[in-house]
Structure formats: C-alpha cells, structure tokens
Structure 1
Amino acid sequence: MLGIFVLAPILIGTIAYIIRDTWAKPLLFLFQFSYVAFAFSQFLSVKANGPIIWNTGGYTDGLALSLFADSLSIFMVLMTSFIYLAFLIFAVNADYFHSKFYFMFLVLEGLIMGLFLSSDLFNIFVFSEVSTVVVSILIMLNKEKQAIYDGMIYFFVNVIGSSFLLFGAGMIYRTFGLLDIRAVSAAMPMLEEPQAMILPYAMMIVTVSNKTAVMPLFSWLPKAHGTPSAPPVISAVLSGLYIKSGVYLFIRFNQMFAPVIDMQSFFFWVGFFTSVMGVIMALGQRDIKLFLAYSTVSQVGLIVVGLSMGSNVAYWGAVYHIFNHALFKSTLFLTSGLIEKEYKTRNIHEIRGLFRRMPWVGAATAFAVLGITGAPFFNGSISKYMIANGTKDAGITLLLNIINLGTILSYVKYSAMLFGKSREEQPGKPERIAAATAFVLGVISLFTGLFGEFLTEFFFGIELQVDTAEYIKKSLVYVFMLVAGVAFYKGLLKRDRILERIGTTELTFNGIITVMTGYFITILVFLSSVL
C-alpha cells in the first residue's frame, strides 16, 4: 500500500501530460483529493495500529527494499499531500499551469514521498538524486538566463552533496552488510569500535546538512528559492515542503547513529547560528523572494535547535514547527507572487498599501507573518512554546528569545508593505482562486494555533498542557519584542546600508564547494575529539 504514495503521483502526472486537454485538470484534482484522503486513512491506521512496513518481493525485513511509515513519516506524508492540494488549486488558472509543469510537479510529489517513506539508504540516494534533477528543471521552467544559472548551481551543488551520502552508505554496507536504516540502527550497539562510524556519519550528515541549508551550507538556497522568473508555487513547494525532506533525513540519520554518536550539542549551536545568520541576511534584502528565502534559513535553524535540545517536548515542538512553517511560508511565497504581479516589482521598499490595494492578499500575508513571528493564538506560538518548554536553562531560553526577536525584527521590515499608501489608489484584482487559496492557508495558521493542544495530541500523541499564566507571560514577551523590533528597525536599521551590503554577499560555486569541504572536515575533527 505504501508504494502508492510514491508511484501514484508519477503515474497520474504522466497520464495528465499525455492527454493534454480539458480532462487533465479534473484528473489532477480528483487524484489529489483522493490522495489526501488516502494519506489521512493511512495516518489513522498508523495511529491506531502502529508502523506500516512494505517490503519488496516478500523478502525479509531489514534485507528487502522497504517503505516504512511510523508516526513521524506518515505525518510528513499527510502534511505534504494536503499542502500540495493547496498549491494545485492556487496555480489552476496560471499561465504556467500546463502539461510540462504539472507532470514535473507531481513527479516531485512522488519523490518527496519516497524520501519520507524509504527505509533503504541507497533508495534514499536515488530519490534524492532524481528529485534534484526535477527541482532543477522546475527552477529553469521559464528558460530565462538567471533561472538557468540558478538551476544549474542548485543542480551541481546538490549532486556533489549527495555523493557524500553515496560514499557514506557504501561504508555502512561494508561494515554491516545492511542498508536498511532500522536494521543498521539495531546493529550499531554491537560495534566494538564506535570510531569506525566517524567517517560515514560525517559524509552522510554533510548531505542532509546541505539539503537542510544549515550554516554555512545555505548559499545555494536563495538562488533556488528566490529565482526571479520561477512561478510562486515552485518557490512555495521548495521552501514550504521540499526542504523538509532534508530536515526529516537529518532526524533519521541521527537516530540511526544515536547508539554510538551524539551530536546534539554541536547541532544546537549550528542551528542557533543558522537562525541568526538567516535573520541578518533577510534584513539585508530588498527582493521579497530573497527575503523569504533567507527567512526559511532562519526558521530551519530554529527547527534544528529544537531537535537538538535533548527534550521530548522540544523535539515534537520542532516537528510541529515543520508543519507550521510549511503553512505560513507557503502562504508568504504564494502571496509574494500575487504582490509582484500587481505591483510589477519585488522591491520591499516600493510596495506599500497592501491592505488597501489587495485586502485579501494583505490579510493572508498578515496571518502568515503573525504565525511565523509566534504571535499569541497563532500556530508559531504553540510550536515555539513547546520548544521553549524543553529547557529550564536560562541561557538556552535567552538564545531562543534572541532567535524570535530576530524573526520579529525582520518581519517588521516585511510588514511595512501592508501599510501606507500605494502609488495607485485603485484596488487591485488578483486572481480570485489564487488569492482565496492563500487566504485560507493564512487562516489555517490561526486555527492550528487556537487548536494547537488538540492537534499535537492528535498528530503526535503528545498531551500538551499549555499553562495559561506562562502563555500570557510569553505573550507579553512577544508584545515587548514587537515594540522593541519596530522601534529598533525605524530608529536604526531602516536607513542602515551595512546590512544591505551583507545581504548582497554570495558565494560562487567554487566557494560553496569549499565551504562544504570545510564543514565536512570540521565534523570529522569534532567527532575525533569527542569519541
């Protein structure tokens, strides 16, 4: 049954590409609605009966090529299928919604599902490589010069990054004679010399760190997610969903090596500096797409911090933030496309009066901004509350507050688009279905906050008890940070040119590969010193 998640989107995309007529769109939407329903039924099955395992050819578990669905992977599948449906609805009347687009778009959906469900290291490598090709084609869809350059940079950086995974998997197979993640994890405690895992771990973690775009490996991400000519739905799927496959593999690979290697303290600091650097780079952007791309870097850093705190509630808070980020960042990228189309610019400083000119798009943007900054009652406040409750250490709490202050500060700049007067007083008329889809996603950011306690219990089996007094305290801290952020931005950062100079700094291809090599060496040295 799990094979349907991988094969069905590819098959339906192929059929839709072949028929290329008025039947293609109804087929796509009928399939995606059914796909979401099937994902939900499998989620309920895992929730009620435990993990689902599908082994090819009836071979022994651990030796066969396997698809494995537990509470985490099936949640990622359900999240992806639902948001993919929203993307298809958003793009249905767009000029780029043609046979080539929806063929590649659905193929990518199947490959993402393969990354979430595959239990075999070589299969993960194959899904990663093929998805890299598909994403590169989607980035270059409009065949503009800049898009082709960005797509090729993305392709080569990620192909080189994935080669580390292949070599690491080969060393794992040489040691254990196994490639199944669960089987390898069970065999890890039997190792007489844990130091033998230093090299394969370093190789494999470089691949997922690159896919996750943690510091200092994030230079490729703005090129891919912020490509000027890429349709907004492509930027949304890359930043809202596809990057989560890297986070998911980060979780799985660290779980696999956990019996012999513990890198939580290392990645806590990697996540923190990733988040801070993402904020700094976002503040230096004028282009709304590049701003949102660097913001994704910052939010991924926060997720890595939550995953690396050694706390169960912080771990599930980070997982819930994966879902929340998929919602509000998808909303922001979708609305950015509508804003660009209406204002004929992507310059944040030239866009004003969004509430007046595009009320529904402005409302969707506002909901998403409130979500990502962790405003009271919105989804980000719940996931950040869970992450913060994962520690009683005042120092770590301070670091988490610094991250959130940075997020608020950056979105003070972004939110300036909502207010003021537009150069044209006549209200715009964005495509109704697209605007309505973005608005609904924004509203969901509110409802997934209001019902956060119920949803965390339903999705993860975590009985979250939000302490009212503590939540009010954190809400007051948020208000204080918001006031401080507005004052600081208007007083100092609005006219500062240093951040804009920093924001335009980017690495060449050679620089990206050099940094990747340095990151690999750093992990080797760190592990050699602690094991």
Structure 2
Amino acid sequence: MLYLLVIGPILAGIVNILFKKRDTRPFIIGVQIAQLAYALWIFIQVRTDDTIFNFMSGVPDGLAITLMADIISSVFVLLTTIIFLMMLLFAYHKEYFNTQFAFLFLVLQGLIISLFLSTDLFNLFVMLEVSTVVVAILIMFNKEKQAIYDGMIYFFVNVIGTAFLLFGIGMLYRTTGFLDMRVISEAIVEVESPRAVLLPFAFMMTTLSLKTAVVPLFSWLPKAHGTPSAPPVVSAILSGLFIKTGVYMFIRFSAMFEPVIQVQEIFFLIGFITSIFGFIMAMGQNDIKMILAYSTVSQIGLIMIGLNMGSEIAYWGALFHVVSHALFKSTLFLAAGQVYHQYGTRDIRMMRGVLRAMPLTGFAIIFGILGVTGAPLFNGSISKYMISYGSYRPIVQFGLNLINLGTITYFVKFGSILFGKDNRPEESKPPREDLLSELLVFIMGGLILLTGVYGPVSMDILFGYQVEVFSAEYFEKGIVYALMILAGVGIYNGIIKQGGLLDRISHVELTFNAVITSMTGFFLFIAGYLYLVL
C-alpha cells in the first residue's frame, strides 16, 4: 500500500510527541530503515512489473484520490527515504534533535513523498501549502532574528505563489471536470481550443517556476537554504531534495498539458538564463552556505535545460542529474555545517586547512565538488555527458561549457578552504559525535563516486534507460574538464579574488514587493507568450 510511505513517518512523528519523555531516536531510525526497505520493495515491484496504483476509495478511476508509483516517482521516493535516513543519522547526537524537530522533520518527509506519489491536483495543492508551513518553521527553528525574517519571507512568498496554483486548478477543473492528472491529460484533447487552458497553464507554471527557483523567481531560495542559524540537515534537505518536488511536478504538469501546449523552447531558454545567473551570483559570495544556495539555482537551471532540450538522452540525463544533485548537494551542505561549526564562522576567507584538520569532511567536500563540476568518474559527469549529448548545436554546447566553467570557478573559490594552515580556534576540538557525523558525510561522498564509476549501470537500475558512454568522447570531455579547471583557477585568482563589481552585484536582493511583482510579471509573460504561439 503506497499510503504507508506517506503516513509512516507522520505516525512516527506523532509517537515521538506522545513519548517525548523517552529517547525516541532509536525508534525514529528504526522507522526510517523500514521506510527505506519498503520504498526499495516498491521500486523493485515497479521495475519488475509495472506502475502501481493505490485508489483511496471505491469510486471509479479518475474520480478517486489516487497514489501512483511509476518508474520516475518510485526513484524519487527511494531517494527521499535514503536522504532522510542519512540526515537523521547525521543529526542523531546534535542539540537540535529534540521532540519538536523530529516531529517537523518526519512530517516533512511524509509530505514530500505524497507530492511524488499523488496524481490529484487538489491534493498536491494541500500538500504544498502544509509543507510550506513546516519548512518555514524549520527555517525559524532556532528563533534567531535573521532566521525568523528568512522564514517569514519564505512563507509569504510561497503561500502567495501557491495561490496561483489554486487558481489554475480551479480553472482547469471547470474546463475538464477532473482533478486527476492522468484523466485530464486524456480529456484535455477534447477542448475546443488550446487557448481554453492557456490561463490554467500560466497560473500553474508560475507556481512551479517559483518552486524550482528559476529566474526571476529565485530570490527566496538563498534566504531559505542559506539562513544562518538553520540546522545543516534542514539546508541539506531543502537544497538536495525538497526543491526537486517542483522539478517533479514540472515534469508531470508538462506531460499533462502536452497534448495541447508545448513550451519546451521557452523553458529551455529560462533554464539557460537561470543557470548562468546562478553561477554569477555564487561567484561573489563569501558565505559558505550562500555559495551552495546559489549553486542550487544554477544546477536547477541545468536540469531544466535537459528536461526541455527535446532529446531523450538529455531528458534522462536531467533526471539522473536530479539524483546526482541530491547526493552531492546534501553532502556539501552537511560538510559545510561541520566546517563552520568547527571554525566558528561561515566566511570562507577565514577558513583554511580543512583537509588537514578534518580529513573525512575534507575528502567528502572534494568528492562533492568533483561531482557537481562533472569530473570524470563522478556522478555529475554522467548526467552532464548525457545532457550535452542531447544536442550538437554549437550555441548549446558553448552554453553548457560556459555553465560548467562558471560552476568550476565558484567551486575553486569554495575549495580554497581545504588547503593552507589550519586556522581553527585553539579550543576547537571535534567531540566524538562530530567524528561520527564526519564519517557519515564521507560515506555520502563515497556514493557520489560510486554512482559515477557505475553511472551507466546506475541509469539502467534506476530508470531502465541504457546509456552507452563512448570512451573517446568521454576522454575528450575529460580533457576539456582539465582545461576548465585551469581556466577556473585563473578566473578566480585574476578576477573574483579581487572583488569589485561582482561582489556588489552578487549581494543585490529583491524586496518582498519586488518578488511579488516578478511573480506577477512572470505569469503575464507566460500567458502572453502562449497567446502569441497558440
């Protein structure tokens, strides 16, 4: 029963509240292991048999609230259970792992899984609204002034953004009479004109564009993912996993509207702009978490490029990049949390010698950097290879190389913390539980290497897609990568290190009113574009 994957962690959170006077952490970890085992069993069932449906009432298919596990959603659910288990193991000995935190974290897990499994549009709206509340509380968990401000910005921006989704769902229901995405996809071809669903599409895609943080709807993400006092596992979940709910719904909604509306070209362009903008902003940051937050903006842009390239191999490459990004970004956020806890600062200019002081964390950071920059033998190289292979147009190849050069450049800046003399405060010695957390982060880094070395095998196991990596082309891209490393080091030392205009640009923030205005402008842009092309 698929609903067990949704209610399992929520019930565990409730039990955790009821028995708050006892140490419920072993119970919570036990539930997570059971969740992982069950998610793996569902994944195997989908791969060996076919799509699994779970109808929540006795009414006919299309009217019943339905949960669906197919080849894509089963992978996303499996990924969710793996990442949450890792996060809870990491937080096991941390001060913030109390009853309230565990409850919120487990509820968020159930909500994320429900977003991946549900086919009912109103269900998706409700889950997004509730998850917005939970995430906002987690951001504000330590009750510091900046965290409260960031959490409230996140809350109000996303509540208003989700209202666009509700408007779109209402209009689509009035047009088709259904809320189930599978049935709507079949019924939508019967509408008199594609323009009948123009406004619903524009409303719904505005919400999803906000959730995926594409330009110009990105400004909430650095505040939410990089807020100073949020626990590292919160930032890791938000950046590594939660933002993927927007990507997943973009895939589903695009398929639902595909019979009458295709907008791959415009979202392909938006993906490019987002990716370039993200790495420019990341280059000018000195806060270790803000670099990673803007890196997520850039990488989501790359995923959107792959999804909208119009190529099968690029599409599956983008999906594999979702998995890869979840691994290396979660690893990097957890490692960053370990580092600034030991060094007492988040300013990378004040951190040196991490590899010597914290070798396990240092190597995890190296693995994460090699993954995100697409180094040969690491998971990002396979997904980027597939996306690049999806188009031989010179302008596309140039754009992809430019994005990767930008990624390498800001991670050269990020990686500067690894070397040099250890400048931690003298009294800073990691306790035993931190050493255990370091080991866990190192294991996550190892997964980045493992899923890269066995990249084609991983693709076949996860998505049933067989990709052939041509040795000559892979070697050629390895040479290009090496040259980009040299170029990235040169750009960092020659331009970024000097500061100046880039620093000023990268610290520009949109006000709340500007965010809402950009959301409205984006909706009008999509609606106007559709009006012209339909």
TM range (shorter): over 0.9
Q: 1:394 deviation in Å?
A: 1.9
The residue aligned with 1:347 is: 347
Return 273-282 or 490-499, whichever deviates more.
Answer: 490-499
Name the CA distance, whole Å, in 2 between partners of 1:428 and 1:44. 44
Q: Secondary structure, in 3 states, of the residue corresponding to 1:179? A: coil
The residue aligned with 2:142 is: 142
The residue aligned with 1:214 is: 214
- Render the CA deviation track for 1:375-420: whole Å, top value 9, x for unaligned: 0100000000111111122221111111111111110110111111
Name the CA distance, whole Å, in 2 between partners of 1:206 and 1:309. 20
Contact 2:264 2:309 in 1 (8 A): yes
Structure 2 unpaired stretches of 5+: none
Contact 2:354 2:362 in 1 (8 A): yes
Q: 1:422 deviation in Å?
A: 2.3
Structure 1 unpaired stretches of 5+: none
Name the CA distance, whole Å, in 2 between partners of 1:251 and 1:410. 29
One-letter amino acid matched to 2:164: F
Q: Secondary structure, in 3 states, of the residue corresponding to 2:237? A: helix
Q: 1:502 deviation in Å?
A: 1.1
Q: Secondary structure, in 3 states, of the residue corresponding to 2:498? A: coil
Contact 2:343 2:425 in 1 (8 A): no
One-letter amino acid matched to 1:86: M
The residue aligned with 2:9 is: 9
Contact 1:358 1:428 in 2 (8 A): no
Q: For residues 53-452 of structure 1, what are the structure 2 equivalents within 5 Å? A: 53-424=53-424, 428-429=429-430, 431-452=434-455
Name the CA distance, whole Å, in 2 between partners of 1:352 and 1:63. 59
The residue aligned with 1:490 is: 493
One-letter amino acid matched to 2:256: M
Name the CA distance, whole Å, in 1 between partners of 2:495 and 2:172. 52
One-letter amino acid matched to 1:398: F
Contact 2:314 2:386 in 1 (8 A): yes
The residue aligned with 1:520 is: 523
Name the CA distance, whole Å, in 1 between partners of 2:196 and 2:284. 43
One-letter amino acid matched to 1:25: R
Q: 1:23 deviation in Å?
A: 4.1
- Render the CA deviation track for 1:165-216: whole Å, top value 9, x for unaligned: 1010001110111000000001122222111111000000001100110011
Contact 1:9 1:110 in 2 (8 A): yes
Q: 1:474 deviation in Å?
A: 0.6
TM superposition outliers: structure 1 runs of 4+ over 6 Å: none
- Render the CA deviation track for 1:20-60: whole Å, top value 9, x for unaligned: 24441111011100100000000000111111111111221
Name the CA distance, whole Å, in 2 between partners of 1:153 and 1:160. 11
Q: 1:457 deviation in Å?
A: 0.6
One-letter amino acid matched to 2:267: F
Between the aligned residues of both structures, percent identity stands at: 53
Contact 2:351 2:424 in 1 (8 A): no
Q: Secondary structure, in 3 states, of the residue corresponding to 2:67? A: strand
Name the CA distance, whole Å, in 1 between partners of 2:101 and 2:282. 29
Contact 1:219 1:512 in 2 (8 A): yes
Q: 1:425 deviation in Å?
A: 9.0
Tell me which of 472, 475, 482 is aligned to 1:469. 472
- Render the CA deviation track for 1:205-231: whole Å, top value 9, x for unaligned: 001100110011000011111110101
What is the root-mean-square deviation of aligned Cα atoms in Å? 1.1
Count of paired positions: 531
Contact 1:456 1:463 in 2 (8 A): yes
Name the CA distance, whole Å, in 2 between partners of 1:436 and 1:422. 20
One-letter amino acid matched to 1:55: F
Tell me which of 460, 470, 483 is aligned to 2:463. 460
Q: Secondary structure, in 3 states, of the residue corresponding to 2:495? A: helix
Q: 1:491 deviation in Å?
A: 1.5
Contact 2:284 2:499 in 1 (8 A): no
Name the CA distance, whole Å, in 1 between partners of 2:256 and 2:429. 52
One-letter amino acid matched to 1:463: Q
One-letter amino acid matched to 2:402: I
One-letter amino acid matched to 1:470: E
Name the CA distance, whole Å, in 2 between partners of 1:468 and 1:208. 38
- Render the CA deviation track for 1:409-448: whole Å, top value 9, x for unaligned: 1101101111111224979426022111111111110000
Name the CA distance, whole Å, in 1 between partners of 2:436 and 2:117. 32
The residue aligned with 2:37 is: 37
- Render the CA deviation track for 1:441-466: whole Å, top value 9, x for unaligned: 11110000000111101111111111
Contact 1:89 1:433 in 2 (8 A): no
Q: Secondary structure, in 3 states, of the residue corresponding to 1:60? A: coil
Name the CA distance, whole Å, in 2 between partners of 1:208 and 1:144. 30
Name the CA distance, whole Å, in 1 between partners of 2:355 and 2:40. 36
- Render the CA deviation track for 1:487-518: whole Å, top value 9, x for unaligned: 12111221122111111110111010000000
Tell me which of 498, 503, 527 is aligned to 1:500. 503
Contact 2:343 2:424 in 1 (8 A): no
The residue aligned with 1:510 is: 513
Name the CA distance, whole Å, in 2 between partners of 1:221 and 1:109. 19
Name the CA distance, whole Å, in 1 between partners of 2:242 and 2:402. 27
Contact 2:412 2:488 in 1 (8 A): yes
One-letter amino acid matched to 1:279: F
Task: Using structure 1 for the length normalisation, give the TM-score.
Answer: 0.99
- Render the CA deviation track for 1:467-501: whole Å, top value 9, x for unaligned: 00110001111001111110121112211221111
Contact 1:357 1:425 in 2 (8 A): no
Residues 166/357 of structure 1: CA separation in 2 closer, same or farther (3 Å cut): same
One-letter amino acid matched to 1:256: M
Name the CA distance, whole Å, in 1 between partners of 2:290 and 2:75. 29
Name the CA distance, whole Å, in 2 between partners of 1:22 and 1:37. 26
Q: Secondary structure, in 3 states, of the residue corresponding to 1:494? A: helix
Contact 2:342 2:424 in 1 (8 A): no
- Render the CA deviation track for 1:87-137: whole Å, top value 9, x for unaligned: 000000000000000000000000001110110000000000000000000
Q: Secondary structure, in 3 states, of the residue corresponding to 1:376? A: coil
Name the CA distance, whole Å, in 2 between partners of 1:446 and 1:384. 15
Name the CA distance, whole Å, in 1 between partners of 2:451 and 2:65. 36
Return 418-427 or 372-381, whichever deviates more.
Answer: 418-427
Name the CA distance, whole Å, in 1 between partners of 2:499 and 2:99. 46
Name the CA distance, whole Å, in 2 between partners of 1:529 and 1:174. 24
Name the CA distance, whole Å, in 1 between partners of 2:354 and 2:500. 25
Residues 333/424 of structure 1: CA separation in 2 closer, same or farther (3 Å cut): closer
Task: Using structure 2 for the length normalisation, give the TM-score.
Answer: 0.98
Q: Secondary structure, in 3 states, of the residue corresponding to 1:67? A: strand
Name the CA distance, whole Å, in 1 between partners of 2:499 and 2:25. 48
